[in-house]
């Protein structure tokens, strides 16, 4: 399958929704709610697993997880498109903010929140 950019995916999702007259339902509020549902469905696959089990999913379970990850990406991409957010640009900015909050020399090996450092 050919790789695509997030912009390509957003355009395909716009077309997909338009062809089905779903744009009327794709308000930011509804997309956030749908995204939350999909994240919950993804979490369900890991509920009650040990750390080891979560890292070594059997093929059938891994396929189900892949599909849920795709659903999360689809709704997140659709939301960002509706709001005019460039996710890659914002992620790069946020990474720089996090570099300041979590200096490697202070947090290496620690799971503490920056407010606890």
pLDDT confidence tier of residue 117, bands split at 50, 70 and 90: confident
pLDDT digits (tens, 9 = 90+) for 19-62: 999 999 999 999 999 999 999 999 999 999 999 999 999 999 99
Which is the CATH superfamily of the domain at 1-85? Answer: MazG-like (1.10.287.1080)
Give domain limits for the chain.
1-85, 86-117
Query: Average pLDDT for residues 8-24, to the nearest whole number?
Result: 98
The pTM of the full predicted model, rounded to 2 decimals, is 0.90
Q: Which of 84, 45, 77 is nearest to 61 (CA)?
A: 45
Q: Which helix (H) or strand (E) holds 57?
A: none
pLDDT digits (tens, 9 = 90+) for 59-76: 999 999 999 999 999 999
Name residues whose C-beta falls within 8 Å of residue 101's C-beta, 6 or more positions apart in sequence.
114
């Amino acid at each position: 399958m050919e790789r695509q950019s997030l912009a390509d995916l957003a355009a395909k999702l716009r077309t997909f929704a338009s062809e089905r007259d779903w744009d009327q339902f794709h308000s930011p509020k509804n997309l956030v709610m749908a995204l939350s549902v999909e994240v919950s469905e993804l979490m369900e696959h890991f509920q009650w697993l040990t750390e080891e089990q979560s890292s070594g999913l059997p093929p059938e379970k891994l396929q189900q997880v892949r599909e849920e990850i795709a659903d999360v990406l689809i709704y997140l991409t659709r939301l960002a498109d509706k709001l005019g957010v460039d996710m890659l640009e914002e992620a790069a900015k946020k990474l720089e903010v996090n570099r300041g909050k979590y200096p490697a020399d202070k947090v290496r090996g620690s799971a503490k929140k920056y407010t606890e450092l």
